[in-house]
Amino acid sequence: MGGRLVCSVDGGDGPSLSSADRTGEHSTAVSRTPVRWVRPVLRLSSSVNGSAVRTALSERQPPARLTARTPYGCTWRALREGDAVAVEAGATSTQLMTRHQEVRTTMRRVLKAAGVALAAAACLTAAVPAASAATPVPRLAAAGAPPAPLANTFGGLGVVSFSAALLASVPDPDRSPAGANDFSCKPSAAHPYPVVLVHGTFENAFDNWSALAPLLKNRGYCVFALNYGEVKPHALLKATGPVPASAAQLAAYVDKVRAATGAKKVDLVGHSQGGGLMPQWYLRFDGGAAKVHQLVGINPSSHGTTAIGTIHLLDAVLDVAGHAGKPFGLDSPAAKDQTIGSPVLQQLYAKGDTERGVTYTNIVTRTDIVVTPYTNQFLTAGPGASVHNILLQNVCPLDLSGHLGNPYDPNVYQLVLNALDPAHSKPVRCALMPIPV
């Protein structure tokens, strides 16, 4: 029976080699079997004598544990099979260094892409007319002429567009996105449900919906977008208050929309918290199931997040930042409510994921590093409910946009339109979205 050499975490400074499936034929198994080196994480450590590994392998020694240190040093950990990178058993320290350099190069590219996104966002924001922050002056139109289509000022460039919209909202964080909050709007027979857009944590209605709101308005929907969850009035970063309190605000807003439009039910489209546990709390505990036809979640924070394993550290940082920055609206009970295993999450999902009579659509990206694991975002249908879980990369494999970029992703726009009007759904014409943020 052949053995298998794998990298495993050791208490020392570097990775160790261990022999699996050991038999009496140790030496033969060790010499024939490739080593699976798994990508490095987190820390660099001291130097290592790569020749020790080569010597041990060439002599076919089968010790229970071989400690290997390489000149550049690293700590390894085992990940899922799909993440491992295989190299030959006789891998030298130079070959291992090459693997490490490849990882570092990939990390540099991701950071460079994020930097380019922020720089482009700043340029795009500077290009937005200054008058966009002021109240627009109405133009006279010929009698009976159709209204001019609303423009998406920020484009569909993923996180670049999101960053530009966030910067543009700084002078007036409470402003509505174009196309939203016309309370004289009456739903048509084609689109009988007003659409209420619900932004995510540390966001606001303007930076989250400056693309989707005008798009939906141009398609004939009555569109509304609330700001909620402020711990300080007029805060730039909203949706930071306790989730149950924010759900009560959503309940009051939906009632206001229903009263103004005459509609019996609305469709909710939300991002992150706004597409996940906050509206789900409203549906379950605040009577929302009788007033909502459908909930469409873009990267919904359903079932909470581990934040790629750093959530408790982030909560601790937010505690400190919250106390120090409370006057600036940095206090965030909502972040703790969305921590996996929180009391709010346990109460919300104690009786399943869904409410009878509501349709749920979840649009999820594999590159999400905010709500992790991304599979947490999927829901399981309970009695009388309908659930559609959509993984973006199954529709558009080259769409790498992440948690922040999805509200400004043309591929996501079409998925939202299809969910709101499935009778007239259209194939997604996949746009390349290369920034995984």
pLDDT tens digits along 64-121: 333 333 333 333 333 333 333 333 333 444 544 554 455 455 445 544 555 544 454 4
Mean pLDDT estimate for the chain: 75
pLDDT-derived band of residue 321, with 50, 70 and 90 as boundaries?
low
- Least Cα distance to 365 among 300, 290, 285 occurs for 300
Task: Give the number of other Cβ atoms within 10 Å of residue 237's Cβ.
Answer: 20
Q: Tokens 């999820």 — which residue?
A: 364
Domain chopping of the chain, boundaries: 4-103, 151-424
End-to-end CA distance of the chain: 45
Averaged pLDDT for residues 200-213: 97
Residue type, 202: F
Q: Is the pTM of this model over 0.75?
A: no
- Residues 25, 31, 32, 36, Cα dihedral to 10°: 110
Averaged pLDDT for residues 25-31: 31
Q: Tokens 């240190």 — which residue?
A: 69
| Cα 253 to Cα 146, 284, 305, distances in angstroms | 29, 16, 27
CATH number of 151-424: 3.40.50.1820
Averaged pLDDT for residues 173-182: 97
Tell me, what's the pLDDT at 52? 37
